[in-house]
Chain A
Amino acid sequence: AQSVTQPDIHITVSEGASLELRCNYSYGATPYLFWYVQSPGQGLQLLLKYFSGDTLVQGIKGFEAEFKRSQSSFNLRKPSVHWSDAAEYFCAVGPSNTGKLIFGQGTTLQVKP
């Protein structure tokens, strides 16, 4: 079955430290992969996406993610976290031809001053 796993429910980092949020997926073919961010009380905003091509993708707000087919992973990274990055982050995979997205459980990021 198609699924997305985000192993870390909560992560706390200090402001200015680097960040990596993990995402693993299970899918039978090449997936479409996404990272979304949700600030408290808000909807979801797309950070970045991978469809094909270069496996390192750049997104908004200084985020990047790397697609590793051999590990079925699509981890999100940021070299230096800002207090405004505190939010919930969702990894999602989109099966082809249906438009459906399957979401991971989410990772809540807390940023310490």
Chain B
Amino acid sequence: NAGVTQTPKFQVLKTGQSMTLQCAQDMNHEYMSWYRQDPGMGLRLIHYSVGAGITDQGEVPNGYNVSRSTTEDFPLRLLSAAPSQTSVYFCASSPSVGVHEQYFGPGTRLTVT
């Protein structure tokens, strides 16, 4: 049981490039989410999903897209990277939307130059 996995661990992009951050969980959790962590700001919710085929925006969704075609996977797409998206990104999951204990992946450190 690997829990929540994220790839890559580190990534450097140039402004305007696109990429996808991968997130997968093997716990059959319904709820998955993406956060970004910036110094002094804690973690802020980007997007979340309450089940396959259902996604919704968090507090900082601009510049990011998500999809949830399977229960296991919840990729985060940056369509045109900007320096303001330099951050550490965490994926999290929980058994259902009514269970608020979330399990976090190890994070992806993204730098946009």
Q: Which of B31, B96, B98, B106 contacts A43 (CB 8 A)?
A: B106
A103–B42 touching, CB < 8 Å: yes
| Structural contact, A97 and B97, CB atoms closer than 8 A | yes
Interface residues of A in 18-53 (CB under 8 A from B): 32, 34, 36, 41-46, 49, 51
| A105, B39: Cα distance in complex, Å | 8
**Which residues of A lie under 8 Å from residue B48 when comparing CB positions?**
99-100
Interface size (B, Cβ < 8 Å)? Answer: 28
Q: Are B100 and A32 in contact, with the CB atoms below 8 A?
A: yes
**What's the count of A-B pairs with C-beta under 8 Å?**
65
Indicate the size class of the contact surface on chain A. 20 to 34
List B residues at the A interface (Cβ < 8 Å): 4, 31, 33, 35, 40-45, 48, 50, 58, 90, 92, 94, 96-107
Contact indicator A94/B107 (Cβ below 8 Å): no
Answer yes or no: A67 CB below 8 A from chain B CBs.
no
Bound complex: CA A9 to CA B97 (Å):
30
- Given A99-B31, A99-B94, A100-B45, check contact A105 B40 (CB 8 Å): yes
Q: How far is the CB of A103 from chain B (nearest CB, A)?
A: 4
Residues of A within 8 A of B50 (CB): 99
Is the CB–CB distance between A105 and B100 below 8 Å?
no
